[in-house]
Chain A
Amino acid sequence: MGDLLNAFAVAGKSALGFQAVFFALLAIGLNVHFGYTGLLNFGQIAFAMLGGFGIAISVTQWGWNFWVGVLVGLAASVVLALLLGLPTLRLRADYLAIATIAAAEGLRLLFRSVSASPVTGGTRGLAAFNGDFIALAPWDTSRRYSVLGTRWSGGELWVALVGWVLVALMCLLVWLLMRSPWGRVLKAIREDEDAVRALGKNVYLYKMQSLVLGGMIGALGGMVYVVATGAANPDQFQNANTFLAYTALILGGAARVLGPVVGAIILLFVVQFADTALRALIENGIIPGELLSSTDVAQIRFVLVGLGLMLLLVFRPQGIFGDRREVMLDAR
C-alpha cells in the first residue's frame, strides 16, 4: 500500500514537473500546427532544441545575458520555421512532414558533430547557463522542499512554476487567437485550402504564421527543459519526443485549447506511474522475476501507454476534450 501511494506521489511529481511543461509546450505548438491549421510538423523537437541551445550558446559561449539568450532562441526558431515553410508550404501537406522530420534529425546530428563542438559542446553539450534565472526564485533554491509527498529542489519548483505560468499564457494566447477571425481562417485551411483561397485569403501567409507561432511555442518548451536540467545536450532532443508530444495532443484532444496540456499531464503521469508501480511489484515478488525484470520496465511502460492509447482511439477517438461529432465527420 505504501508502495502504491509512493507510486502515485512519484507519478504526480512527474506530471507536474518540468517534463510535463516541456511536453505541454511542444504539444500546444503542435496543436497550432496540426490541430488548427492541419500542418504536419514531425520535427517539433528541432524548434525546442534551437530554443534550448539559443540560451545555452548565448550565455556560455558568447557571454550574453540570459534574457538575450531567450530572444536568440526564439529568433532561431522563427528562422527555422521560415526556412522549412518557404519551400514546402506551397506544396501538399506531406512535403512539410518530410522536411521537418529530416530537419529535426539533421539538426541534432549537426549539433552533436565534432566540428560543431566548439559552439554546441558536441556530445557533451553545454552547462551552467541557468544561474541568472534560478537566482530570480523568491525562495532558497539550495534547500529541498516537500510537496505532495515528494521532494523537490527549490530550483525545480521555480522552473516548474514559471513553466506552468508560461503554459497558461500560451493557452490564453491560443484561446484568444482561435476565437478570432484569424483562427477561423486557420481552421478553414485545415478543412480545405482551395476553398479558402477562392474566398480571397492568402493561405500561404496564414500557414507561415501558424508554423512560426507553433514553432516559437515549441522553442519555449525547449528552454524550460534545458533550464530545468541545467544542461543542453543535443541527444536530449531525440525526435521521439515530437511523437510523444503528438501522443499528448491526441490524448487530450486536438484543436482544443486545454487538450495538449491535459494530455501532457496524463501522459507523464501514466508513464511514470507504470514505471514506479511495475518496479514495486517486481521488488515485492508479485510479478515473478522470470516474467519481467526491472530492467525491462523502462520499455514495458511505453508498451502499456501504447495499448492505452489504442484503446482510447477505439472508444474515444476525439481524445479527452474533443467533440465526437466533429471527429465522426471525417468518417463520412
Chain B
Amino acid sequence: MPADNLPPGAHAASLDKNTGTGTRPGGGVPQRLAQAALRDVPWEIGVAKPDPAIVVENVTRTFGGLTAVSVDHLEVQRGGITGLIGPNGAGKTTLFNLLTGFDQPNTGTWSYNGKPLGKLAPHQVARLGVVRTFQLTKALSRLTVLQNMLLGAQGQRGESFLRALVPGTWRAQEKANTEKAMDLLRRFKLDAKKDEFAGTLSGGQRKLLEMARALMSDPQVVMLDEPMAGVNPALTQSLLGHVKDLREEGMTVIFVEHDMDVVRDISDWVVVMAAGRVIAEGPPESISQNQAVVDAYLGAHHDAPLTVEEEDQVLAQAGAAIAQEEHGGGEVLGTDSTTGRTER
C-alpha cells in the first residue's frame, strides 16, 4: 500500500479540533476510545478491528453483467464513525441496501454482533438495532412531523391490530414516546414544526427529521446514506454535530458522503470503494495520499498539481514534442505527456 507515508499516530489537525467543541457535556472522551482503538490498526484492506460491530464476508451483488458490490472482508469498529466514500457507481448504496436487508446478495454473509444478517428482511434488521436513512430523503409527507417521529419508536403495543382497538393498552406508551419524540425534536430544532406535515419541510429539515426519526428506535448502528447531500453549509455543521453526538452516545455510525472535508472532519476510519470493491481503508488522513483512491476519484489521467521535477519533466517532454511536431508528427503530444505523469 502506498498509504504508509504518515505514521498512524499522526492525527490530522481537524480531528483534534473536533474534541474541543465543548458544547456537549463529556464530548470527546468516547470518541477518543474508538479512535484510540483504531490507532494501531494497520491501514490495509480487510484488516481486523479490535471490536467489530459489523463483519462483512465475501459479499457480491451483480446486476446482469455488472458487479455492483464485491467485498471480500470488511469490519466496522463499534462506537466509531466509519465514512464510506467512493466515486459515483462505486457500490456504496448497494452495500448499504445489502447490509440492511433491502437487497439480497448473490453470495456472501455478514453479521452484526456475531449474528448473521444475511437472510433477514429489512424490518428484522431494523429491530436488531441497525437503522438507516436514505439518499433520497424519505420524509412521510402527509404525516405530521410528530407522527413521523412516533413511527420510529419500537415495540409499540398499539401497532398490533387488536390492541389498537383498545386505546387503554397503548395510551401510556404513546405518551412516553411522544415525550421522547419531543426531546429529540428539540435537539434537532424541529419542535416548533411538530404539527406541520413533513411534506412542507425544507430539504435540510427533512434530513434532520429522518435522522431524528431513526434515533427514535434507540439504534446501536446508524447508517446514513449521504446525510449532507443538498444541505446548506450552516445546516451541514449542525448535522455534523448531530452525527458526532451519536458517536458520543456510543452508537456505531456508518455514513456515505462525497464531501471530503466532512469525511476528514468526523470520521474515525474511512473505507473507500470503487467499482464495487474496497480499494483502501484507514484513518481519514491516510486516504488523501493513497494513490489508488486518487486514481479512483480522478481517473488515472488526472491533473494534479505538479512538483518541480515533474514540471521540468513535462516541460522537457513538451519541448521535445514541439520539436517533433515541427518535423510533422503532431499526434504524439497528448499521449506522451500524460503517460509521463501517471508513472510518477
A169-186 CB mask vs B (1 if < 8 Å, else 0) is: 000010011001111110
A-B contact count (CB 8 A): 108
Q: Which residues 130-159 in B have Cβ within 8 Å of A in the complex?
A: 131-134, 138-143, 147-148, 150-152, 154, 156-159
**Beta-carbon contact of A332 and B151 below 8 Å:** no
Contact of B132 among A187, A191, A198, A330 (CB under 8 A): A198
Q: Is B100 among interface residues, defined by CB-CB distance under 8 A?
A: yes
B252 to chain A, nearest CB (A): 16
Q: Verify if A281 is at the interface (C-beta below 8 Å from B).
A: no
User: CB-CB contacts of B91-122 with A at 8 A, as 1s and 0s?
Assistant: 00000000010100000000000000000011
Interface residues of A (CB under 8 A from B): 173, 176-177, 180-185, 187-188, 190-192, 194-203, 209, 325-326, 329-330, 332
> Given A176-B164, A182-B161, A329-B197, do A199 and B126 touch, yes or no (CB 8 Å)?
yes
Q: A182-B160, A200-B123 are in contact. List 14 more A-B contacts (CB 8 A).
A: A173-B165, A180-B170, A181-B174, A184-B147, A187-B140, A188-B147, A195-B139, A196-B151, A198-B133, A198-B134, A200-B127, A200-B154, A201-B123, A329-B197
The answer on a CB contact under 8 Å between B158 and A195 is: no
Say whether, besides A200-B123, A329-B197, A177 and B140 are in contact (CB < 8 Å): no
Residues A180 and B165 in contact in the complex (CB < 8 Å), given A187-B143, A199-B126: yes
Task: Give B contacts to A, CB under 8 Å.
Answer: 100, 102, 121-123, 126-127, 131-134, 138-143, 147-148, 150-152, 154, 156-161, 164-165, 167, 170, 174, 197, 199-200, 210, 213-214, 216-217
Q: Given A182-B161, A188-B140, A329-B142, verify A199-B131 contact (CB < 8 Å).
A: yes
In whole angstroms, what is the CA distance A326 to B139 when docked?
Answer: 14
A177 to B165, CA, bound (A): 6
> Is the CB–CB distance between A191 and B150 below 8 Å?
no
Contact B123 A185 (CB under 8 A): no
CB-defined contacts of B131 to chain A, threshold 8 Å: 198-200
Q: Are B170 and A181 in contact (CB under 8 A)?
A: yes
Q: Enumerate chain B residues within 8 angstroms of A183, measured Cβ to Cβ.
A: 164
A181 touches B159 (CB 8 A): yes
Q: How far is the CB of B70 from chain A (nearest CB, A)?
A: 24
User: From residue A319, how far is it (CB to closest CB) to chain B in Å?
Assistant: 14
User: How far apart are B251's CB and chain A's nearest CB, in angstroms?
Assistant: 16
Is A329 in contact with B200, judged by CB distance below 8 angstroms?
Answer: yes
The interface residues of chain A lying within 8 Å CB-to-CB of B174 are 181
A180-B132 in contact given A198-B126, A203-B123 (Cβ < 8 Å): no
Q: Is the CB of A198 within 8 A of B100?
A: yes
- Residues in A with CB closer than 8 Å to B156 are 181
Asked if A200 and B165 sit within 8 Å, CB to CB, the answer is no
Bound-state CA distance A199–B126 (Å) is 6
Report which residue of B147, B150, B161, B216 has the largest number of chain A beta carbons within 10 angstroms of its beta carbon. Answer: B161
Known: A180-B158, A181-B150. A199 touches B143 (CB 8 A): no
Contact between B140 and A176 (Cβ–Cβ < 8 Å)?
no
Sampled A-B contacts (7; CB under 8 Å): A184-B147, A184-B151, A185-B151, A191-B143, A195-B138, A200-B154, A201-B159
Chain A: minimal CB distance from B139 (Å): 8
Q: A181-B158, A199-B152 are in contact. Are A194 and B199 (CB under 8 A)?
A: no
Closest residue of A by beta carbon distance from B128: A200
Do A332 and B164 touch across chains, with their CB atoms under 8 A apart? Answer: no
A181 touches B138 (CB 8 A): no
Q: A181-B158, A194-B138, A329-B200 are in contact. Are A188 and B123 (CB under 8 A)?
A: no
**Contacting pair A197 B122 (CB below 8 A):** yes
Q: Are B141 and A191 in contact (CB under 8 A)?
A: yes
Cross-interface CB contact of A191 among B127, B142, B158, cutoff 8 Å: B142
